[in-house]
Chain A
């Protein structure tokens, strides 16, 4: 009974705080409302789980997860290095690079573009992550097979977006380049690639969380005894949900940081675009 009352009190107080804070303006101050919202949720979660004595196997309290993170930080770091630093980064670089190179090639051959684009759009909607068992069979249990899955997942979004971006330069600007007697390479480097940058960054942003998901899910199909996906699958089977949540928090932080880094680079590289200037 007390738990319910305490929970209600937190909910009312939190809602009141969020509504008040949402009126604040300014770059830093506008972060206050979402932070208050998140804090309310975590507090509510803690109170309900502790108050109703929910078993660990069902839902661990945030404090238990934090304690587990502090205790197993070495293991978490090891899993992070295996999954993120090796599989995700390598796969992301190769997949995005190959998609970009393919787009440049396709751009030179209009016939290929008309044929490949519909197929690329179709593949982008397919459950590509399902190729994980095949990649594990081809490239073994270690991080190479996970990187291969990431390559397959990130290739098509990059291809489709870059091809769309290369077509984005206006005909007026193209005519201007032609009147300067610019050759294909000059037009590409000075006009069309810069104009394609917003599209390329869209693909980079789409691919950042995709890469992490691909690497983690691929580990469900077999991995060495380390890695975030491996740990999540085995600890969930042992009902040690505090460790599973700890891994997920690490994954969420890594995913957000990766995405944030891409956004920062985007802001620096496409400072001229209206969506960033305004």
Chain B
């Protein structure tokens, strides 16, 4: 099954790259043509294409320009340099990870409470769902201003926004997972005269793990988005969001795209790491998959 997907994915990726190059030539053509006319030069067709793909501030940079910039700003610069993308990615990643930890813990606790206390399920659940209709990211400026007034800056406000985005998928998945054991299994444990605690740890928790991991994967992607957006309204000095903002102020498109790619790499590797952890944990629990 996995082998059969590799070829189509490769072909489609190549197709996207080819389309990208065509789009880059098309979008940058006018800019380059204007520049050449002003300079009094009349390059031929081939030279024009080379110029559109090597412009320093293009409307759409070509993929190889982004990869070059990524390589230059991650591998050639020292990690402590303020121009190193590793430095910026780490600042965003650390906030996202702290927020992910807080949000997931809150999400699991809420789910455990909801499953055990009926009044909470009836009264809290609608509000948890409504909390997601609030465009959470719009809250970012408030949280940052309010916490800044309390003397909290840098990592914590960003982490709190990430946590707010994280808890929902975890809670929903975990509530579903903790109530997933069927009546037959619960009856079986009751015939063994298992205590509620034993039912919880031996039946409900193991059954909920696949649901928990599904929620965690959604949550970790949301945490990265939260950390990036939280850097926007305050004019943060460092982080991937700050790179996006600075790039958009100064028209440095290559910088914007490389920050975007860095964010995508961070996000995808976090989801990948969770998938790996899921496979290990589920196998340890004795699942046949």
Contacts and interface: CB of A to CB of B under 8 A. Distances in A.
Interface of A: 18-19, 21-22, 30-31, 33-34, 36-38, 55, 57-59, 111-116, 118-119, 122, 125-127, 129-134, 136-138, 209, 212-213, 216-217, 220-222, 228-229, 232-233, 236-237, 239, 241, 244-245, 247-248, 251-252, 255-256, 259
Interface stretch (B78-86, B133-141, B206-214): B133-141
A119 to B, nearest CB: 6
Interface extent on B, as a size class? 35 or more
A34 B248 contact: no
Contacts of B224: 127
A247 B138 CA distance: 9
A interface majority secondary structure: helix
B22 interface: no
Contact of A216 (B125, B137, B149, B263): B137
A130 B248 contact: no
A236 B4 contact: no
A22 B123 contact: yes
Contacts of A36: 123
B251 interface: yes
Given A19-B119, A216-B137, 12 more contacts: A38-B127, A113-B8, A127-B221, A127-B263, A127-B264, A134-B257, A213-B135, A220-B232, A228-B138, A233-B233, A236-B141, A251-B134
Contact of A112 (B8, B118, B218): B8
A34 B241 CA distance: 37
Interface string B128-157: 001011111111011011100110000000
A248 B139 contact: yes
Interface in B223-271: 224-225, 228-229, 232-233, 240-241, 244-245, 247-248, 251, 253, 256-257, 259-260, 263-264, 267-268, 271
A250 B247 CA distance: 31
Given A112-B12, A221-B248, A241 B122 contact: no
* Shortest 9 CB-CB contacts between residues of A and residues of B: A115-B8, A133-B248, A115-B12, A236-B141, A22-B119, A22-B122, A114-B8, A37-B123, A34-B126
A91 to B, nearest CB: 14
A120 B9 CA distance: 11
B31 to A, nearest CB: 12
Contact of B118 (A22, A55, A130): A22
Contacts of A259: 133
